[in-house]
Amino acid sequence: MFPKPDLSSLILGLIVVLECTRFNLAWGQLIRPVYVYEGLIKDIHDYFNNTCIILLHTNPNPIETQGLVESEGLLILQKYLSMTHHIRTTFMDFHMFSTRIGQSYYHIKRPLFVILNDYEDTRHDFAYQISTWIAMAYPTWLIFFRNETKFADFFFEIYVPFDCKFMVAQSSVNVTGKEIITEVYQVDRGKELRSMQFGVWDIRKGLKGPTRGLFFRRNNLFGQNIRVTSVHDPPISLFHHNEQNEITRISGFFGEVILLLQEALNCTFTYKEAESWGMCLPDGSCTGAIGMLMNNDVDFAATEFMMTSDRLDSISFTTPIYTTKCRTYIKRPASADVKWNAYTAPFSANIWGTIALFIIITSGLIVIIQRISAFTSLSFQNNNHLPSRFTEVLFYVVGAFCSQGMEQSTLDPVKIVHLMIHLSAVVILAAYSAALISFLAVKTFIMPFTTMDGLLKDGTYRFSAVGDSADYSFFQNTSDKIMSVLFDQLLVKETNLPRNYLDGLERVCKENKYAFMTLDNMAALLQQKVDCKLEPLDTITQITVAMGLQLNSPYRGIINTNILLLRDSGILERLLETQWSIKLSEATSSWKSVEIGDIVPLLLLITVALLISCLVCVMEYIIVKNFSTRKKLKINKLQKIVNRI
């Protein structure tokens, strides 16, 4: 028989039972000791360098429903994180988060979301109130599981994207105070939930996390099919079809890049052709490859996309592939038909003046020497046949500079002057001949303008860019006054814009006075495929080229990681050198021919000289004939006078 309890014992026992019940209810949200939450959350925050922590739970009123002990535990956890370690921390239930924060969650920079437990109501609220609308890859996730909870059961109907950092903490069975942390993800919606160990945490050593980055750990897409589109833009992207006219692969530079990505990612690619790169219209819709990405027709656009701000709201970009300059190209103007300055341009005006002065001085010196030597009768008798007038001497000196000889003099001073003249003439003639040959051999041309402002002011050129592309939208949305006027006056008038860069450059060569905006590397690559010489205007802007992905694509990180690996290993640089190298179809001759226009001034000079010579000859003939006639008349007249006498 047990002793009959008194009233005080009954009251004490009831109080103990109530307190124990309240204690169990109070710790319902926290399924680990507070020190485990404190240490693990703090270490995860430090590992990922998060800026703040949001502790999510399912009970909107924990104090009213579960008592003061629950509130005390949550407040201890918040105080430890916010006051001890100065980490911005807040508690929030799922309903409050979805209603008060909502779509503005992206204003929170690098948040860490912590789900305190794995209860069924927690799973239900998280699955249907949060995961259906939030971009799961934006925050870092940490959830605490009980050991009996299965991953597949909790994450049923919850999509954890490939690039999502979602970690599950479970207690170690053998060691108290030790947590096994597993990261979970899915390759695609509806695919198998995959998991791998992220690290281990214990109270003494803290967190021992992975040493490799996220996409070095998740480097396998397990054969996932990725839909790829590109633009037919030879020679950097060309489609290859099978007998059923299905696209089997893409060749060219971007084709080589995605083949390397396919091998590294362990995935498969299926292809669709885009009619153009695309642009976004004022109504929010987009065309071409951009529209295909927006409409979920494809996952990846393997073609050159200019990284422009107006596209950031529609698609995501990979890491940059290369940078280049954007400018307008025109056909090289024809060389001048007649180079009127061809035979004077080799020497400057100062040199020509010096040569003329030298000829005058040496001619005068010869005349002076001859006049002085005339005082000696012997010298005068020996040299009376030599020219003594200044004009005659000047004519002979000019002839010496034209490689003509001079009649030898017996006077030593004159011989020295002759030697100096011939030596100077040889040196000057050699320099002049070399400069003249270079001037005639080098084809020169004059650009009608070199700037976009000059193109606009010229008024005779048509102007275009690739239709339905960033090139076109650049002029459409620019704030630059000249570019805006070019768009309104020239570009909008082009009803049939080029489909790609090759088409545009071919029009530059075929059509008269046609200007086309393209990239420098594309112009260099396609120069060999067009039949004219292209000339660039001044640079419009520096651009960066990348490939395109769907907005918030889960594969952007792993693709960027592998592109960086290709760049660091030198493979991307080698592809750029080999795929973009200019290979001439046939060797060009090193000889430069002189055209008829180059010798027109010389022919004209000879013709004018002949005409003047003929004119002088005719004039001399007339003068001599008149003189002879008049002389005969005088003789006859004198003869008559004599006869009369």
Comparing C-alpha atoms, which of 526, 528, 536 is closest to residue 505?
Answer: 526
Best CA proximity match to 136, nearest among 126, 125, 146, 150? 126
Which range in 305-314, 439-448, 513-522, 614-623 is most confidently predicted, on average pLDDT? Answer: 513-522
SS3 446: coil
Outline where DSSP puts E strands in 522-629: 534-550
From 102-111, 138-147, 339-348, 604-613, the region with the lowest mean pLDDT:
339-348
Q: How confident is the model at residue 305 (pLDDT cuts 50, 70, 90)?
A: very high
Q: Where are the alpha helices (DSSP H) in 390-459?
A: 390-401, 412-441, 452-458
Q: What is the largest CA-CA distance in the chain?
A: 205
The pLDDT > 90 percentage for the chain reads 53
Q: Which domains does the chain have, with CATH numbers?
A: 34-217 (3.40.50.2300)
Average pLDDT over residues 573-585: 70
CA distance 409 to 400: 14
Tell me the DSSP string of 154-205. Answer: HTTT----TT-EEEEEEE-SSSTTEEEEEEEEESSTTSPEEEEEEEEEETTT
First-to-final CA distance of the chain: 205
From CA 393, how far away is CA 6, in angstroms rounded?
Answer: 155
What 3-state DSSP class applies to 637? helix
Q: What is the pLDDT of residue 545?
A: 93
Residue 163, both tokens: 């690039």
Using the structure block, give the residue that is written with the tokens 């393997």. 302
**For residue 123, what are its two tokens?**
């799973």
Which whole number is the average pLDDT over 79-89?
Answer: 94
pLDDT band at residue 12 under the 50/70/90 scheme: very low
| Average of per-residue pLDDT across 566-582 | 84
The CA distances from residue 181 to 51, 165, 178, 515, 540, in Å, are 21, 12, 10, 62, 53
Closest CA to 58 of 132, 12, 125, 8: 125
Q: Compute CA distances 642 → 76, 633, 639, whole Å.
A: 156, 14, 5
At residue 592, the pLDDT reads: 59
More confident residue, 411 or 546: 546
CA 378 to CA 134: how far, in whole Å?
Answer: 120
pLDDT of residue 2: 38
Distance between CA atoms of residues 261 and 319, nearest Å: 13
pLDDT band at 122 (very low <50, low <70, confident <90, very high): very high
Q: What is the pLDDT of residue 114?
A: 97
The SS3 of residue 612 is: helix
Q: Is 60 exceeded by the pLDDT of residue 5?
A: no
Q: Across all residues in the chain, what is the average pLDDT? A: 85
Kindly indicate the confidence band of residue 386, based on its pLDDT and cuts at 50, 70 and 90.
low
The predicted structure's pLDDT at residue 228: 96
What stretches of 211-279 show up as alpha helix (H) in DSSP? 214-217, 253-265
Distance CA 501, CA 514 (A): 14
pLDDT at residue 254 tops 90: yes
Contact 226, 555 (CB under 8 A): yes
> For the chain, what is the total number of helices (H) and then of strands (E)?
21, 18
Greater pLDDT, 52 or 285: 52
Least confident of 134-138, 344-348, 376-380, 551-555: 376-380
Choose between 17 and 272: higher pLDDT: 272
Residue 607 is predicted with a pLDDT of 85
Which CA distances in Å does 482 have to 161, 308, 485? 46, 20, 5
Rg of the chain in Å (alpha carbons): 46
- Residue 376 has a pLDDT of 62
Confidence of residue 38 (pLDDT cuts 50, 70, 90): very high
pLDDT of residue 588: 47
11: how many CB neighbours lie within 10 A of its CB?
A: 10
Q: pLDDT value at position 411?
A: 77
Quote the CA–CA distance of 548 and 304 in Å, as a whole number: 8
Lowest-pLDDT choice from 155-164, 441-450, 477-486: 441-450
* Confidence band of 383 (pLDDT split at 50, 70, 90): low
pLDDT band at 338 (very low <50, low <70, confident <90, very high): low
* Residue 637 C-alpha from the chain's centroid: 98
Q: What is the DSSP string of 479-511?
A: --HHHHHHHHHTGGG-SS--SSHHHHHHHHHHS
> In the numeric block, which tokens belong to residue 642?
């004599």
Question: For 364-379, how does the pLDDT look when each residue is reduced to its tens digit (9 = 90+)?
Answer: 888 888 778 776 654 4
Contacts 24+ apart (CB under 8 A), 287-294: 287/468, 288/231, 288/468, 288/469, 289/229, 289/230, 289/231, 289/548, 290/314, 290/315, 290/548, 292/229, 293/229, 293/548, 293/549, 293/550, 293/551, 294/550, 294/551
- Residue 643: pLDDT band (50, 70, 90) is confident
The whole-angstrom distance between residue 373's C-alpha and the CA centroid of its chain comes to 79
Torsion (CA) 128, 131, 133, 135 in degrees, nearest 10: 180
**Is residue 22 scored above 70 in pLDDT?**
no
Amino acid at the residue 422: H
- Higher per-residue pLDDT: 185 or 603: 185
Give the pLDDT confidence score for residue 270 in this predicted structure.
Answer: 95
Is pLDDT of 58 > 50?
Answer: yes
Answer whether residue 61 shows pLDDT above 80: no
What are the tokens at 41? 């959350």
Instruction: Write down the pLDDT at residue 348.
Output: 84
Per-residue pLDDT tens digits for 390-441: 888 888 888 888 878 777 777 778 888 888 888 888 888 888 888 877 777 7
Mean pLDDT over 297-307 rounds to 94
197-221 average pLDDT score: 94
Check residues 545 and 620 and name the one with the higher pLDDT.
545
